[in-house]
Amino acid sequence: MAEPSPEDPSSASPAAALTVSPAGCPPRYDLARGLFEFCSSQADAMLAHFRNINQLLGPTKDWTAPGTLCEVLIRDLIRRMLPSRYSVDKGFVFGRCMKGDKEVHSPEVDVLIHDTHEYAPVYRLGDFVIVRPDAVRAVIQVKRTLDGDKLQKAIANLVDVKQHLKSLGAIRIPNNNYDIFSAAFFFADDLKLQGGGISSTYASIVEPLKGVEPLARPHFLGSLENRFYVVPFDSKARYDGFASLHGNGNVALVTFLGYLTQYILPRYSSLPLYRPVDHPSDQTIQLDAPDRSPS
C-alpha cells in the first residue's frame, strides 16, 4: 500500500467522498463544508472552556490546572474522532535507550495515542499509561500559550520521543516519518504577523528544524486561538497566519485533525478534513534535510 502523502491527505474530493445522493442527481447539501464547520465548532467549545477556567482563577502563577485542562480537552476531542481500538492517554513509552553517554527512559507525552486492540498497556492507572513502543501511533505535546520558549521545548520533546521510538525499533522504515504522527498543539498565542509574512516566533523556531532529521520532525505546530499553524514535511513547511482566507472556520484545528486521522487511520476510513487546494498556505518555508556528508 502506498504511503499517505502530506500534500494530498485525501485523493478524493471531500464533497465527493461525503455527499450521498441518488445516482445522477447533483448533491443538495455540501457535507464536506458541514464537516468543516462541525470541527470548527469544537475549537470554539474548547476555547470557551479554556477562557472560563482562566476567568474563574483570575491572575495566577500556577498554571498547572489550566495546563491539565488543555490536555484533557484535546484528549477528549481526539477520543471522539478515533475508533475504539485506539486509546488516548498520557504517559511514557516502555523501554530505555542511550542518549549520548546516558541510558534514559522516554520523555513524558501529554497525548499518547496507542493501539489497544493489538497491544495492552504495560501499565495503566486511569488515563496514565506506559505502553509498548510498537503500540504507539501518535505523540502530541499540549501547552496553554505559544511563545518561542514553549514552542522550542515542545519541538525538542517531540524530537526526543521520535528518536527514542526509532532507537527501540518502533519506526522501522528508514527516513520515513509516516509511522508515528507527532504534533505540538497550543491554545492561546501572542503571535503577530510581520508585514504580512510569517510570524517571527515561528520563523525563529522553524529554522532549527532544518537541522533535525526528517524522521524526527513534528508533523504539525499550531495554536487554536488565532489559527496559526505550520506543517513541516519532507523539505518544506507550510505556514498559515491569521486565517483571513478561510472565513470563520478554525482551519488550524481542521488541519490538525485532518493530518492526525490521515496518518493514523487507513486511507479508506479517514475523514477528508483537509486538502491544500482548499486552504492554500500563506507561505512555504524551505527545510532542507540535514547534511549527512562526512565531516
Number of Cβ within a 10 Å radius of residue 68: 15
pLDDT digits (tens, 9 = 90+) for 118-166: 999 999 999 999 999 999 999 999 998 888 788 888 989 999 999 899 8
pTM: 0.81
* CA atoms of 179 and 239, how far apart (whole Å): 23
- Residue 172: per-residue pLDDT: 58
225 pLDDT exceeds 70? yes
Which tens digit of pLDDT belongs to each residue from 57-101? Answer: 888 777 677 788 999 999 999 999 899 999 999 999 999 998 889
pLDDT band at 53 (very low <50, low <70, confident <90, very high): confident
pLDDT at residue 33, as a whole number: 77
Rounded Cα gap, residues 292 and 295, in angstroms: 8
Total Cβ atoms within 10 A of residue 13? 14
Measured distance between the N- and C-terminal CA atoms of the chain, rounded to whole angstroms: 37
CA pair distance 61, 68, nearest whole angstrom: 14
Domain ranges across the chain: 30-286
Q: What are the φ/ψ torsions at residue 154 (nearest 5 degrees)?
A: -65, -45
Name residue 44's amino acid.
D
